[in-house]
Copies of this chain bind each other. A is one copy, B any other.
Amino acid sequence: MPTHLLRIDCPDEPGLVYRVTGVLFHHGFNIISNHEFVDPATQHFFMRTAFAGATAPAAVVDDLRQAIPHAAIRLAPTGKRSVVALVTKEAHCLGDLLLRQADADFPARIEAVISNYQTLAPLVEQFGVPFHYISHQDLDRPEHERAIVHVLEDYQPDYLVLAKYMRILTPEFVARYPHQIVNIHHSFLPAFVGARPYQQAFERGVKIIGATAHIVTDDLDTGPIIAQDVLPVTHSYTAANMAHAGRDVEKIILAKALRLILEERVFIHENRTIIFE
């Protein structure tokens, strides 16, 4: 029987789970998995339900909208979601995503890659994915972004992934893709915000470095965090060694974050994320 996925969030009140599960039960659906959370700080309710049944799920959404009028209710689309990657020169995150998309279980399909350098064109093209070189030279930031948007309009992707894209995006660009841009920041945020985080980490003499995947909001480093991981380093690591070692964490965490978002496991609430794994 086909499986469907429902996301609901609204201010908490008694009986929400009862009402949602009642609608599903009366339509003859069986719940496969159910996650709920009430944020204690704001008394906001979040629910993600996977359910199966023979009938079409649209009527469920209609009934739920009647039962809980103030809720945000969404039936998730099925199948792979389309993603365009923005990159600069580093191959490790992008290569990892290109490999993973061949996996039937990975929820992303990389439609195209856009870069301000030509470095990664051979890698991308060997995977049969279109590569768009859009240099930022001789362009101001809005002009460069307009050129990128022009390409993006051909693809209409569900999400953008910044796979080590080393340029800052304008608020105007970000506003076009609200909560649809995932970035990997090469540090354990908020430890080393900004440029050259590994150099900063080396100078501070830390014993652990990390990476942070997050939703891009108004600037590159402060959006809601989806996933983080770390690895130990020692005094024998130079800043370059740290950057090198950090690559493995960066690629794993970016892929994990992309998977969580595309599988509709991430809710965003007041610059924090609720994640149902």
Interface string of A73-105 (1 = CB under 8 A from B): 000000000000000000110011001001101
Interface of A is mostly: mixed
* Separation of A255 and B246 alpha carbons in the complex (Å): 14
Does A34 reach chain B (CB closer than 8 Å)? yes
Q: How far is the CB of A56 from chain B (nearest CB, A)?
A: 18
Of the residues B18, B24, B91, B225, contact of A207 by C-beta under 8 Å:
B225
Q: Which of B105, B191, B192, B236 contacts A244 (CB 8 A)?
A: B105
A39 to chain B: which residues have CB within 8 Å? 235
A-B contact pairs, 5 of them (CB 8 A): A14-B28, A14-B29, A204-B271, A210-B230, A235-B274
Q: Does A30 contact B (CB under 8 A)?
A: yes
Closest 8 CB pairs of A and B: A205-B272, A18-B21, A95-B99, A191-B191, A235-B274, A126-B126, A15-B25, A207-B228
The 8 Å CB contact of A99, one of B15, B91, B188, is B91
A66 within 8 A of B: no
A169 to nearest B CB, angstroms? Answer: 20
Q: List chain B residues, Cβ under 8 A from A191.
A: 188-191
Interface size on A, residues (CB 8 A): 64
Checking B33, B36, B41, B126 against A34 with a beta-carbon cut-off of 8 angstroms, the contacting residue is B36
What mask results when residues 205 to 222 of chain A are scored 1 for a CB within 8 Å of chain B, else 0? 111101000000000000
Q: How far is the CB of A128 from chain B (nearest CB, A)?
A: 8
Chain B CB count within 10 A is highest, among A21, A24, A234, for: A21
CA distance A40 to B191 in the complex (A): 24
In the bound complex, CA of A225 to CA of B32 (Å): 25
Contacts A15-B25, A31-B17 given; indicate if A206 touches B228 (C-beta within 8 A). yes
